[in-house]
Structure 1
Amino acid sequence: MNREQVSRISHHEHPIKSPLADDSVRRLLERGLPRGDERVLDLGCGTGEWLLRALAARPDVRAEGVDVSADSLAQAAAAAQDLGVGDRLVLHHLKAEEFVPAEPFDVVLSFGAAHAFGGLLPTLAAARRHLAPGGCVLIGDGFWERPPSQEAVEMLGDFTDLATTVDRVVADGWTPVDGHVSTRQELDEYEWACWGSLAAWALDHPDDPDSAQVLATATARRAEWLHVYRDSFGFLSLVLRRTPGSA
């Protein structure tokens, strides 16, 4: 079973691929889309869940998503048609650095995709290139809630603590106008949903040739969460605007 199939199964019960509850997602979108007629771009949109929710909640929003996964984009397009918002969604099968829009966007989104850009600040640099004057960025990434083990750093990345993460964003020319630190419940529910869904699939498909591999993956990922990073990893979401006078 390939990585995309594993991801699709593991996120079946938690389609937002970040440790955020539905209420948190809704509040972040409300803060980032105050007018309700914005043009929205998602860099690394995956199956388009953020865009689909924005389009469903605001009938005057128009959105575009960019991703390298054709399978994920096909899922996003099918879901958009089912929701009746397909006429307001454009999807691009491209690397983010290859995307050249016809005009800038009022809102740029990127959640849990910073690894694809090389980190939080490079992701913000990519967002900046597509942002209209006065627009905002909604972004989510990890931080270390407590000092991590070396194993956790090697597994998840070289994050900093919460205060340092925000300080770096501010020094890069951004002003936070809202934010959310995922709660312990949100973090745990996300992990249980991912690895529980994967394990359940394996148990429900005992005759599938991939069943044993999938169950082993679910078991290993659950163990990594519980033993390596549960006590140190946190997740931060920010609503950002450009600081006046910044480059």
Structure 2
Amino acid sequence: MTDTDAPPRLTRLAFHGPLSGARADRMVARLARNRPATVLDIGCGWGEMTLRVLEAVPGAVGTGLDIDAEDLERGRRSAVSRGLADRMEFVRESAEHTGRGPADLVLCLGASQALTSVEPPRHTAPALAELRGLVSPGGRVLLGEGFWQRTPTAAELSGMWPGASASDHLPLAGLVDAAVGAGFRIEWIETANEDEWEEFESGYLADAEEWLASHGGHPSAAVVRERVEGHRSAWLHYRGVLGLAYLTLIPAG
């Protein structure tokens, strides 16, 4: 499928995850209290959260790492339009064993798998260890990580991603314990609510759904339809089961 064949990509989303603007504003205000001079965004996508932090903390500079060139270019355009191009660098490279730290604020929102070659679900501990080494003393880590709100049933697992297992995620208490075990104190715990999940998942599919409605006979339609319907089915199976926690972490001395 060429670019001209494809539907628009994720134009309905401000964030690549279940995160409302109101929650993001509260997070930014809390993180800005620590006046970070440097921000490192792991798996940044188009870097919306970092750009909001830079707007809230004059003089702060940010670096975003991702391997998706399209998302990075979207981030660069956004930085230019907001007058932040000289304070934000978007870099196309792997975050595994990155030497870009330490930073006063490290963001890792739904991207902890990018920090380690260890496959989920065993990646959580090594990813937290990497984050502990990337944050400056007295700094903060904002971690967005999946967790099971309850143990999924076999029927639910069968409709999720290929090979889905109850061991793929920790419960929230287990995730918090893992962060403490990695050398962090927990400043704040919050979780995405149902409205945020629905806004994200619907927004994730909306561009493609709209395109399919008017391009049903397009040669690429079957591929797009299969992708969209597979994603929607998976979401409706993990809806109310898979959660997303946002943990604000402080490195312990």
CA contact (8 A) 2:191 2:245 kept: yes
Name the amino acid aligned to 1:114. S
Q: What does the per-residue CA deviation read over 1:176-198, in whole Å, with 9 as the maximum and x for residues that have no partner?
A: 10121111111122112212332
Deviations 1:163-184 (A, max 9, x none): 1211121122111101211111
1:168-247 matches, cutoff 5 A:
168-206=178-216, 208-226=218-236, 228-244=237-253
TM-superposed deviation, 1:147: 0.9
Shift of 1:37: 4.8
Structure 1 letter corresponding to 2:169: F
C-alpha RMSD of the superposition: 2.5
State the match for 2:152 in structure 1. 148
| Count of residue pairs the alignment pairs up | 240
- The percent identity for this pair of structures is 31
What is the alpha-carbon distance in structure 2 between the residues aligned to residue 239 and residue 36 of structure 1?
15
SS of the equivalent of 1:86 reads coil
* Distance verdict in 2 for CA 1:171–1:98, change over 3 Å: closer
* 1:188-242 CA distance string (max 9 Å, x none): 221122123321122244464323321232122112211x211311110010011
In 1: Cα distance, 2:173 partner to 2:151 partner: 13
Cα displacement string for residues 78-133 of structure 1 (whole angstroms, at most 9, x for unaligned residues): 211111110001222211135323x6210000001123334333222222222111
Structure 1 counterpart of 2:124, which letter?
A: L
1:14 maps to 13
Q: How do 1:119-158 and structure 2 match up within 5 A?
A: 119-150=123-154, 151=157, 152=160, 154-155=163-164, 158=168
Matched residues in 2 for 1:59 and 1:205: separation? 46
Q: Which runs of 5+ in 1 are unaligned?
A: none
Structure 1 residue 145 displacement after superposition? 0.4
Q: Is the 8 A contact 2:8 2:208 kept in 1?
A: no
Task: Report the equivalent of 1:95.
Answer: 94
| Large movers: runs of 4+ above 4 Å | 5-8
AA partner of residue 104 (structure 2)? D
Cα deviation, residue 33, structure 1: 2.2
SS of match in other structure, 1:95: coil
Q: Give the match for residue 104 of structure 1.
A: 102
Unaligned runs of 5+ in 2: none
TM-score (norm 1): 0.86
8 Å CA contact retained: 2:129, 2:182: no
Once the 2 structures are TM-superposed, how far is the Cα of residue 46 of structure 1 from its aligned partner? Answer: 1.4
1:114 to 85, 105, 112: 112
